[in-house]
Amino acid sequence: MFHLLRNMSFHLVTGFDKSSTSFNNNEDANNIGQGVLRGSSLAAPIYILNSDVSLYTHNKLACGAAFTHPITGDTIHDKAIQYVDDTSQILNPKGTYSENTFSPDMCSSLLQHAQLNSNAWKEIMWISGGI
């Protein structure tokens, strides 16, 4: 399905004729995932593919946040929430430390982790059309 979507070619057709020029999502084959015609029927599936790959990769690299379920006590881990082109990265002390107490030393560590998470996301974003 991905290859079908990537190799689609679009022409403008009017009452006069079909355009001689076209747009192809695969014009820049070295940058797979870039150059998708926004608003086309291809845009949504490509967005889903890009988001799935990007978030999966980011979850492997980022430390994220940990939350305790108020009823079951289970720990829930999350790294980022994505909406359209943006991501909101999540970080809290419980995601990087096992204890629940907060110390002044954690501030520096949390800042470093946030920077690492942001840098990882920046490097991943090439798949969706640029940084």
pLDDT of the residue at 31: 65
String of DSSP letters for the chain: -HHHHHT-EE--B-SS-B-S--EETTSSTTSTT----TTSTTHHHHHHHHHHHHHHHHHHH---EEEE-TTT--EEEE-EEEETTEEEE---HHHH-SSS---HHHHHHHHHHHHHHHHHHHHHGGGGT--
pLDDT of the residue at 84: 64
Express each pLDDT in 75-106 by its tens digit.
Answer: 888 888 876 667 788 888 888 776 666 677 78
Binning pLDDT at 50, 70 and 90, where does residue 36 land? low
Domain ranges of the chain: 2-128
Query: Mean pLDDT, the chain, as a whole number?
Result: 78
